[in-house]
């Protein structure tokens, strides 16, 4: 299955975030209430067995993640190239 997923993360190495085996895009940012750092709105197309496997993969690379959404898509889905080049 293919999924279009998005989550919040600081994407900071010193917080345990690591390089991913999938392509990802940052589509926005938000300020953290208690720190001087921002969180990124990260999007990715992820091929996985199910939604739980998507979230497990994200958690392995972004321990601070906060899931925004995870939508099942067709096997040939790719994000709009004008927004996610």
Mean per-residue pLDDT for 32-36?
82
Is the per-residue pLDDT at 78 higher than 90?
A: yes
Exposure b/e, 66-82, CB count within 10 A at least 16 = b: eeeebeeeeeeeebeee
Q: What is the pLDDT of residue 22?
A: 95
- Per-residue pLDDT band for 76 (boundaries 50, 70, 90) equals very high
Predicted confidence (pLDDT) at residue 85 exceeds the cutoff of 80: no
pLDDT single digits (tens) 8-19: 999 999 999 999
Model's pTM, two decimal places? 0.92
């Amino acid at each position: 299955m293919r999924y279009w997923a998005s989550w919040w993360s600081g994407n900071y190495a010193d917080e345990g975030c690591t390089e991913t085996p999938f392509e990802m895009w940052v589509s926005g940012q938000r300020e953290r209430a208690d720190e001087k750092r921002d969180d990124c709105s990260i999007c990715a197309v992820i091929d996985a067995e199910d939604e739980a496997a998507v979230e497990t993969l994200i958690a392995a690379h972004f321990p601070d993640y906060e899931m925004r959404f995870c939508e099942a898509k067709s096997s040939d889905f790719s994000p709009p190239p004008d927004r996610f080049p």
